[in-house]
Amino acid sequence: MSTRLASVAPVRRSTATYRPADRDTARLAKALAHPARVAIVRMLLAAGECVCGTIVDRLPLAQATVSQHLQILKRAGVVIGEVDGPRVCYCVDPRALRKLRELLAALAPSPGDQP
């Protein structure tokens, strides 16, 4: 005797039901959700700007992997890439970091606030 399981469609929830600030927080947090991307952002903040090859030289990752991480950061608006001949020079967009700080501060009440 065989039993068949009925096929059930997965429940899909629209992100439209979430507040814009929640979507922004999730987008930026997702971009920083890998230690390599955090290291890249720290490196860019310390240097001001870097060429992809310089970042590759400083991290124990393949050039293609660093490029993928940079693209994720760029798509999220965390970094800006400027083409300079055959090279791409990256820097952190200060507006994105400011926005992230504001969004994270809004998650937790200040010590004097009542729950």
List the chain domain ranges.
Answer: 20-107
Residue 50 has pLDDT above 90, yes or no: no
Structure confidence at residue 84 (pLDDT): 80
> With contact defined as beta carbons under 8 Å apart, do 72 and 43 qualify?
no
* pLDDT at residue 102 is higher than 60: yes
Sequence-distant (≥ 6) Cβ neighbours of residue 77 within 8 angstroms: 28, 93, 95, 96
Which one-letter DSSP state was computed for residue 32? T
Quickly state the pLDDT bin for 115 (edges 50, 70, 90): low
CATH fold label, 20-107: Arc Repressor Mutant, subunit A (1.10.10)
Mean pLDDT of 70-99: 92
Per DSSP (E only), the strands in 57-106 are: 79-84, 87-92
Of 107, 93, 109, the closest CA to residue 21 belongs to 107
**CA–CA dist 32, 93 (Å, integer):** 14
pLDDT recorded at residue 49? 79
Bridge-based pairing state of the strands 87-92 and 50-51: antiparallel
- Measured from the Cβ of residue 44, the count of other Cβ atoms closer than 10 Å reads 21
